Amino acid sequence: MAVDGEPVLEVTAANLRFAGEFALDAVNFRMFAGEVHSLMGENGAGKSTLIRALTGDLHLDSGKIRFYGHPLEFPNPAAAQRAGISTVYQEIDVLPNLTVAENIMLGREPRRWGFIDWKQMRVAATEALSALGVDIDPASRLSSHRLATHQMVAIARAISADVKVLVLDEPTSSLDQDEVAELFRVIRELKARGVAILFVSHFLEQVYEICDRITVLRNGKLVGEYLTPQLLRIDLVQKMLGSDANRFDILNAKQSPPIERDGRTVIVRARGIARRGRLPATNVEVFEGELLGFAGLLGSGRTELARLLVGVESIDAGELTIDGVRRRLRKPRQALHIGLAYSSENRRSEGIIPELTLRENINLALQAERGWLRRISHHRQTELTASWIEALDIRPTNPEGLARHLSGGNQQKLILARLMALAPRLIALDEPTRGIDIGAKIEIQHLITDLVDAGLTVIFISAELEEVLRVAHRIVVLRDRQIVATVNPNVATIEMLLSLVAKAEDDE
């Protein structure tokens, strides 16, 4: 790892605000030639914002960016790429309808007599692919190749432009084990050539396998920069989450007693369920009347598993039984018909509709489930809305007020009201308290446990281990898309969960 001398890329005291809130707050960051550097942090930590600032997609309010020691701020991503900073995003930016060569040389096509020199384009593309050890026909259409090849083509396009800094944003999220190994071979070759590589991933195993240095962000602030071998995984998780085992003690939130599984009905039983590129074969059971916690870092597979269990996504393999009946759920509407519902972690883009009223938001899913030919009368909508506003204490109480005027906690209550209007038996709640203040967080926790006491079954997903420990009857711990343990919260501790989530080195 070449870390002597000046950094290739350095950020000092970076500040950037969105709507008056700090997305980056006095952040320092540096990368050296010939190293793989990981940027770690949960959602909202500032990772994407920092990357966009480095690559010219956003501009800092204050602070400095230096490239090879010279102050520089790129006006746009194209300028950053011309200077030698290229990014391969999780959603791979390729055009499958074009050939491999056309994708690699896109925007830089060699010309002769004013026309594209197709022969020279294929030669240049072959050279870029050969540098990665990839042997495919540059004249073949990209759509004929697997997803891993699409990623290699995107990387080949980056290095063909004389890349000095390569940003890989969640590059393994859709790859299988063999494809990850091939990608890591390419990363090591680029590292040996002196390229500085920023590797952004939530898979701890992969970070510790491929990365030399780790920078941790939390809530837009720099937590620290560490050499990978010197940072224990359990310490990394604590730094990412800001875990404090005593933080919630003063809140006096209630926890229901653990359920006894004997005699309980299994609502959902999964045997070997899988979805390619998202979740390998997994077994799990969900019992009637329990609050089942899913604990793990972002990317651990917690969301993917929940979405398969409640039919938001269909399984590719394995067996899913609902109330003892084998089901193949292909659409969320099928799942709703049998009482399974899901609340997304992204309540802005997949939850509330800000420009609709509370009444319209609450009745939206019920109307869709009934079908648009069986309209719910305005009077019935108003009655239903009023009952859920009162039951969940949504404020302001005006049913004709716009959802965008609600606080984060009340927006989450609005989503719960919409789902409860469907009278579900089981709801998967993905990060239901993220981004809301402590008081609202505890109120939501109480509300969820009250619903469980009333007979609802809940899958509760959270990155905050203290929260899962306080509310869950059982806790399923996931890491790197695998269930690694199922624990009883009455005997578990924060330290135990951290160890399971992080896989402490002495367990390896």
DSSP 53-110: HHTTSS--SEEEEEETTEE---SSHHHHHHHTEEEE-SS----TTSBHHHHHTTT---
Same structural domain, 322 and 213: no
Same structural domain, 127 and 39: yes
Q: Which residues contact 387 (CB under 8 A, 6 or more apart)?
A: none
SS3 (DSSP) at 177: helix
pLDDT reported for residue 430 = 92
Same structural domain, 260 and 329: yes
Tokens in use for 322?
């609902």
pLDDT reported for residue 348 = 62
Number of domains in the chain: 2
pLDDT reported for residue 248 = 41
Same structural domain, 274 and 177: no
488 occurs within a structural domain? yes
Same structural domain, 63 and 201: yes
Among 241, 266, 296, residue at a domain's last position: 241
pLDDT reported for residue 38 = 95
The span from the CA of 10 to the CA of 28, in Å, is 8
265 occurs within a structural domain? yes
What is the edge-to-edge ordering of all strands in the sheet holding 70-71?
70-71, 62-67, 9-18, 21-31, 221-227, 213-218, 36-40, 196-200, 165-169, 85-88
pLDDT reported for residue 117 = 85
Same structural domain, 172 and 313: no
pLDDT > 70: percent of the chain: 90
Among 209, 241, 273, residue at a domain's last position: 241
DSSP-derived secondary structure letter, 490: T
The span from the CA of 456 to the CA of 122, in Å, is 60
Same structural domain, 236 and 254: no
Instruction: List the one residue out of 11, 5, 65, 3 whose CA is nearest residue 34.
Output: 3
SS3 (DSSP) at 128: helix
Query: Residue 454 sits in a domain of what CATH number?
Result: 3.40.50.300
pLDDT digits (tens, 9 = 90+) for 8-63: 999 999 999 876 778 899 999 999 999 999 999 876 788 888 998 998 888 999 99
Q: How many CB atoms lie within 10 A of CB 64?
A: 14
pLDDT reported for residue 60 = 92
Q: How many CB atoms lie within 10 A of CB 61?
A: 12
What is the edge-to-edge ordering of all strands in the sheet holding 482-487?
340-343, 426-430, 457-462, 291-295, 474-479, 482-487
pLDDT reported for residue 208 = 93
2 occurs within a structural domain? no
pLDDT reported for residue 19 = 67
SS3 (DSSP) at 3: coil
Q: Helix (H) and strand (E) counts for the chain?
A: 16, 22
55 occurs within a structural domain? yes
176 occurs within a structural domain? yes
Same structural domain, 41 and 104: yes
pLDDT digits (tens, 9 = 90+) for 156-211: 887 777 789 999 988 876 666 777 888 898 899 889 989 999 999 877 888 999 99
Instruction: List the one residue out of 19, 67, 486, 28 whose CA is nearest residue 282.
Output: 486
129 occurs within a structural domain? yes
Among 210, 241, 272, residue at a domain's last position: 241
pLDDT reported for residue 435 = 65
1 occurs within a structural domain? no
Contact 86, 161 (CB under 8 A): yes
Half-sphere exposure for 468 (CA within 13 Å, toward CB): 33
Contact 262, 68 (CB under 8 A): no
SS3 (DSSP) at 423: coil
3 occurs within a structural domain? no
Range of the domain at 93: 9-241
Contact 353, 398 (CB under 8 A): no
pLDDT reported for residue 313 = 92
SS3 (DSSP) at 282: strand
Same structural domain, 148 and 194: yes
Same structural domain, 254 and 390: yes
Same structural domain, 293 and 316: yes
The span from the CA of 232 to the CA of 209, in Å, is 13
pTM attached to this predicted model: 0.65
Q: Give the residue ranges of the chain where pLDDT is below 50.
A: 1-2, 244-258, 504-508
Same structural domain, 180 and 45: yes
b or e along 208-224 (b: 16 or more beta carbons within 10 Å of the residue's beta carbon)? bebbbbbbbbbebbbbe
pLDDT reported for residue 244 = 45
